[in-house]
Amino acid sequence: MVQIIHASPALGSASASDSISEELLQRFDVSGPRYTSYPTADRFVEAFSADQYTQALQQRAGGSLGGASPLSLYIHIPFCESVCYYCACNKVITKHHDKAVEYLQALVTEMDLTLAHLGRGAAVSQLHLGGGSPTFLSDAELSQLMAALRERFRVAPGAEVSIEVDPRTVTNDRLKHLRELGFNRLSFGVQDFDAAVQKAVHREQSYESVEALMVASRELGFESTNVDLIYGLPLQTPASFARTIEQVGALKPDRIALYGYAHLPQRFKPQRRIDSDQLPSAGDKVVMLAAAIAGFQAHGYSYIGMDHFALATDSLAVAKRQGRLHRNFQGYSTQPDCDLVALGVSAIGRVGACYSQNAKTLDEYYDSLRQGQLPIVRGLALSRDDIVRRAVIMALMCQGRLEFESIELSHLVDMQAYFKPELERMAELAEQGLVTIEPGAIQVTPMGWYFVRAVAMVFDRYLQADRSRERFSRII
């Protein structure tokens, strides 16, 4: 029996002592999606073309997709100077910074091709630079990119403008430049402060260096800072990760993203350098997650759900309390149902009822743009069933509660009839203590939050149809 201390994320109440049995761990030590979207990106098809994407852009521009609502923008910068062995992102490892010149030119071309259908001057309420390492770009290149974006889009007052930062490649002067460019949110990639773990994953950086950057970011007036952590890395133990939890708590970032390591060496070549025998057990990972939840809540954080924490005053925590939380390709978000225009190699976007993804290699990405074509290589036009199930899964993942009436009124379905087999499966999960079933509602229990992906998977029609889950990470 694995004893854990758990604070209820669904209710935001004090800690409760739960027991997770070895049987339950074994039952749910399976692979499954993180549900940053539904349907998940592995369901995208190559039959989806750039023509379908441009039609969605045109429909939005014409107002049929709510074109007056603000956009979210994501720009993927794939370059990194060195490889982190755990990484599953689309990246290009190089120390040749001149490669960024051609890439920035290509981004401008993609913007213009997109705006030929969307129209210039669309309002943007969220802008995020991810990667890779966006701070691979020089100050001048970042200035060039932000100028190009502001010329073509209208960044709304109060917009969230964020960038992922590699603490190993950033100085206080660089932070000052980012602030001058209008960035108001920073995300620091930390993963773990334990020296042995850092060496095992080829990402070494000191606590003191991150602390100095955090202090500088506050002095410069950044509205929000985020720290990324990963549990389940090689050589991590509950004791070592508890030290990292305390160190991060002392830094007091506004948000913390805590991800379970997804070990998929068959898909991601860098992960083959990780010795699988050094990975912690599922039981130890549950203990780490439990300690993180208890530890961060003791430091004043609200548990947003699955992989995010935020200080009570942060907009993410406010959105959770007000029922406005959403989940998109970057994780939890404050903006529900916001169209996402994604730019750059491999970038995934959503416009209306369409998901789309760009070419995954630079050569293919550049080739499409040289031909004057948007670099869309696959995507998905959502069916009515997809949209209904997306609403159900997002309710579970974001609020931990599914209100039948809300789904029935929004999507004109009879929950009991439409989801008869799924609700029968929910009854089994209720017997296992993962959910409680109320008249007209399903509530994820405190223990169920450890397995919330498994709860959501019940409503995944694609997953239930083929049962092929090896493409996903373990849910514990």
* pLDDT tens readout for residues 101-128: 999 999 999 999 999 999 999 999 999 9
Using DSSP's 3-state secondary structure scheme, residue 437 falls into strand
pLDDT at 334: 80
Which residue type is seen at 450? Y
Instruction: Supply the pLDDT for residue 412.
Output: 96
Task: Return the pLDDT at 326.
Answer: 82
Cβ neighbourhood burial of 246 (10 Å; 0-12, 13-18, 19+): middle
- Is the distance from CB of 319 to CB of 337 less than 8 angstroms? no
β-bridge mates for residue 380, sequence order: 355
The topology under which CATH files domain 41-231+244-279+298-343 is TIM Barrel (3.20.20)
Which is it for strands 308-311 and 255-260: parallel, antiparallel or unpaired? antiparallel
Q: What is the pLDDT of residue 267?
A: 86
Domain range annotation of the chain: 41-231+244-279+298-343, 384-476
What tens digit of pLDDT does each residue of 275-327 get?
999 999 988 988 898 899 899 999 999 988 777 899 999 988 988 888 788 88
Beta strand spans in 183-316 (E): 185-191, 224-231, 255-260, 301-305, 308-311
Sorted by sequence, the CB contacts under 8 Å of residue 221 that are 6+ apart come out as 179
Q: For residue range 250-277, list pLDDT tens digits in order.
A: 999 999 999 889 888 988 899 999 999 9
- Low-confidence stretches of the chain (pLDDT < 70) are 1-20, 22, 26, 64-68, 336-337, 466-476
Which fold does the domain 384-476 belong to in CATH?
Answer: Arc Repressor Mutant, subunit A (1.10.10)
* pLDDT, mean over the chain: 89
pLDDT at 475: 63
Model pTM score = 0.89
pLDDT, residue 172, reads 95
Let me know if 370 is exposed, middle or buried by CB neighbors in 10 A (0-12, 13-18, 19+): exposed
pLDDT given at position 17: 31
DSSP 86: T
pLDDT for the residue numbered 464: 79
Q: Could you say which DSSP state residue 372 is in? A: T
The residue among 225, 230, 223, 234 whose CA lies nearest residue 265 is 234
CA distances from 46 to 341, 353, 376, 436, 443 (A): 19, 17, 9, 40, 37
Cβ atoms 404, 415 nearer than 8 A: yes
